Amino acid sequence: MTVRPILTAPDPRLQAVSTDVETVTDEIRTLVDDMADSMYAADGIGLAAIQIGVASRVLVIDLDQKEGKKNPIGYINPKIIWASEETAVFEEGCLSVPEIWDDVERPARIKCEYLDRDGKKQTLEADGLLATCLQHEMDHLNGVLFIDHLSRLKKSMAVRKLTKAKKLKETA
Ligand code: K2U
Ligand code: ZN
């Protein structure tokens, strides 16, 4: 059980483009476990490795957290292989963009290929919250935050709020 600190914007490390995992090793499985521990500690439902400062293409998502039951799924080297023309709008938030929530429009349905924690190739069809969360997390692997999808004005207001909050936290 290792909870690792979650980077918060503004932080240049969050703009890194993460690199593919060569081989799914015990080290990668420990990374997935640490990501899950860190996600649960922050009351999240998804987390990308870059959010704990590791620039590897690894995600963890758990939409099934009920009454203490945990079912974290690790997604290694995830790729979207198809996305619907139809879109859906969800109000998104992010553990790395505290206290900011806004609507983001994304493809409503996606097909995704990834390696599971045993290194086995998996294919997944997702819609609803899972489709949104997967796309949100895969944005992180490309150095993109959900506020990058907002209007210029909304993004600049968000960056100003985050910068002020970070300065206050650092001087407290
Ligand atoms: O990157 C993240 O922090 C993942 C989000 C999951 C998510 C974001 C947008 C749409 C669907 C899922 C967090 O784990 S969950 C949202 C959240 C944000 C701040 C505080 C608590 C929960
Ligand atoms: Zn996020």
CA distance 171 to 28: 35
User: In this structure, is residue 59 part of a structural domain?
Assistant: yes
Query: What is the count of structural domains for the chain?
Result: 1
Distances (CA, A) of 31 to 59, 88, 117, 161: 10, 31, 10, 31
Which residue range is the domain that position 56 belongs to?
Answer: 12-171
Residue 136: pLDDT over 80:
yes
Find the ligand nearest to 133 CA: 1
For the entire predicted model, the pTM comes to: 0.95
- CA 66 – ligand 2 centroid, Å: 21
Q: Would 132 be classed as within a structural domain?
A: yes
| pLDDT tens figures, 11-53 | 999 999 999 999 999 999 999 999 999 999 999 999 999 999 9
- Alpha-carbon distance of 47 to 62, in angstroms, equals 9
Tell me whether strands 121-127 and 109-115 are parallel, antiparallel or unpaired.
antiparallel
Q: What does the pLDDT read at residue 69?
A: 86
Is 3 a member of any domain?
Answer: no
In the numeric block, the tokens 């690199």 are attached to: 19
130 lines ligand 1 (CB under 6 A): no
- Phi/psi-derived region of residue 19, left when phi > 0, alpha when psi is between -120 and 50, beta in every other case: beta
Query: Does residue 152 sit within a domain?
Result: yes
4, 11, 45, best to mutate for ligand 1 pocket (most atoms within 8 Å of CB): 45
- Domain presence at residue 127: yes
Is 5 a member of any domain? no
Whichever domain contains 88, its CATH number is: 3.90.45.10
Asked if residue 18 is part of any domain, the answer here is: yes
| pLDDT class of 65 with cuts at 50, 70, 90 | confident
Q: Compute the distance between CA of residue 147 and CA of residue 100 in angstroms, rounded to an integer.
A: 9
Say which of 86, 113, 137, 170 is annotated catalytic. Answer: 137
Whole-number pLDDT of residue 64: 87
137 is catalytic: yes
Q: How far is the CA of 74 from the centre of ligand 2 (A)?
A: 16
For residue 55, tell me if it sits in a domain.
yes
